Structure 1
């Protein structure tokens, strides 16, 4: 099932409330106080869960376990990690139970999502947010895991981590970032695109484009654009006032990127944020029709009138090398330099 078809179907199901088997939504709360997780230590045990789509290749479980072990951690697999129900990694109740159990288990020091796909939004009403508040720990993942980052932060204030999934690429760049973020002692982290030198006279890969110059500071929120906008109107989005918004996507034609940016505008999100960064839009090429706006034109249309610092091209998204960002932490964005820098501690 394609991502946009799934989201449309999910929206219809959620509108039916408990008739469709979904419990009543959590109440929208006043923005909670920021909650910091504890820093990881080499040798700690992490929980591996699959809150979204099923994993067809069993070797993916092996890759994820071995990657965590190579990073110096031990692994506990969720009870329903390899379950399957249609395209999902088990029933909604099973996937939520794995997440809740990992947060409730005192021996588990972090939670790692094995993959994205689709389906995480279905379990948001089943998450025990009070349990998470009482047991703050890092949770890592991206793409469809955007639903978890936003919901957990909105409901608990916990700083989570947007970065590689367990079965994703653990190349030296990603592995070094993991060690720097979770094992390092630095109070400030700087995220700057890696420059890869080639024989070309001009550096072309990983270049950033400044949309509007300047610097801005605020809590960093966002994630996958499609997943984020699918949460519109729910209590699972954080307050965007004075925030820095980061976005990325994959497999979406420009007209759909335009539609989702217009959704953010109509929600009032864009007029509230202080800064903006767009990562990578992988495989977002147009296909026929009478012509298309480019991604650059779309971003200019929505962002230039705001006159807030903004840039695109950050190493965020469905790319082999990607930033591991502290979701909800206070960060300074420099749109001219194309950098993000943490302004405060991200761990207790």
Structure 2
């Protein structure tokens, strides 16, 4: 007979015990099937609630315009404070979509906060058995990294449902997920009237080329997962990062955490995308973002550049997490070495 104290302890902690599928260092990469016209995309809310039904409708119509059907998760409109429902229900929505044969891909409607809370509740074995495209960014970084680490599934750092579905974003999504191109990500040429480009510029921190698996996402979310079993193997990887509304000292603090945790010393190259609205509120005496990136990335002696179209921006790439790529820090490009989907 199990002692009452032991039973209570196991019962209380059981929902939070990670379901570890396999050792991340020996996971075999798994590519999800490509999207085809007529496929169904499951929309779910793993973090912030769906506040606006009009925004949801715009998303549905945008995906229909791309040739897809949509399906809302069972708890799509739930709300629990700043979360889109209880942890167990949000996790169940994702688990059920992966188990549902009528759903071909899964897309988060919003970011926000809450994805890390459901990581212990996900059915990683099911996800490896029925691989599907998982798409999102920002707080969805927690799902992208954890699922890649635990299953080997190549996940997609790209648009959530509530983004602006413009030509730039949809073209890159099509090329990566529908046409299965091993694309070359290159920032758009500046179409302004100035003598030198002023928009979406690339900043080379250390020149050169490097190859490795693309691993990364939102800097804040990634740094908060350090010390958990939900991060992939960093050795020889290409680290890509982005963030929003973080003052320089906060970016400094998080980059220091990556350095102290030994992550920066393992990577083969670094791409820092966009840090949107990351200027200091008190510029007097503040380090700039350029200062901070130089401090942490230059001593690594690996190719590194900043400014790629990755982040909280209107025009964004769809970047596969866990896929082999080559970066050219001088040109500011990311070349996929294989297709991201099967």
TM-score (norm 2): 0.94
Where does residue 168 of structure 1 map in the other structure?
163
For the Cα contact (< 8 Å) 1:17–1:24, is it kept in 2? no
Output the CA distance in 1 between the equivalents of 2:156 and 2:10.
30
Which of 23, 27, 36 is the aligned partner of 2:16? 23
Where does residue 274 of structure 1 map in the other structure?
268
Structure 1 residue 288: Cα displacement: 2.1
User: Mind listing any 5+ residue stretches in structure 2 that lack a counterpart?
Assistant: 1-8
Query: Are 1:65 and 2:89 matched, yes or no?
Result: no
Where does residue 223 of structure 2 map in the other structure?
229
**Per the alignment, do residues 323 and 18 of structure 1 end up closer, same or farther by CA in structure 2, a change over 3 Å counting?**
farther
Output the CA distance in 2 between the equivalents of 1:122 and 1:67.
30
Query: Are 1:45 and 2:37 matched, yes or no?
Result: no
Query: Are 1:111 and 2:90 matched, yes or no?
Result: no
Structure 1 residue 176: Cα displacement: 1.3
- What CA RMSD, in Å, does the superposition of the two structures yield over aligned residues? 1.6
For the Cα contact (< 8 Å) 1:163–1:323, is it kept in 2? yes
Map 1:26-175 to 2 at 5 A. 26-27=19-20, 29-31=23-25, 32-175=27-170
Output the CA distance in 1 between the equivalents of 2:99 and 2:12.
29
**Per the alignment, do residues 117 and 20 of structure 1 end up closer, same or farther by CA in structure 2, a change over 3 Å counting?**
farther
For the Cα contact (< 8 Å) 2:110–2:161, is it kept in 1? yes
Structure 1 residue 138: Cα displacement: 0.5
Where does residue 303 of structure 1 map in the other structure?
297
Query: Are 1:213 and 2:207 matched, yes or no?
Result: yes
User: Mind listing any 5+ residue stretches in structure 1 that lack a counterpart?
Assistant: 1-15
Where does residue 13 of structure 1 map in the other structure?
none
Q: How many residues end up aligned between the 2 structures?
A: 332
SS in 1 for 2:104: strand
For the Cα contact (< 8 Å) 1:246–1:277, is it kept in 2? yes
Output the CA distance in 1 between the equivalents of 2:202 and 2:329.
9
Query: Are 1:315 and 2:309 matched, yes or no?
Result: yes
Structure 1 residue 21: Cα displacement: 8.2
Q: Greater shift after overlay, 53-62 or 158-167?
A: 53-62
For the Cα contact (< 8 Å) 2:34–2:180, is it kept in 1? no
SS in 2 for 1:112: strand
TM-score (norm 1): 0.92
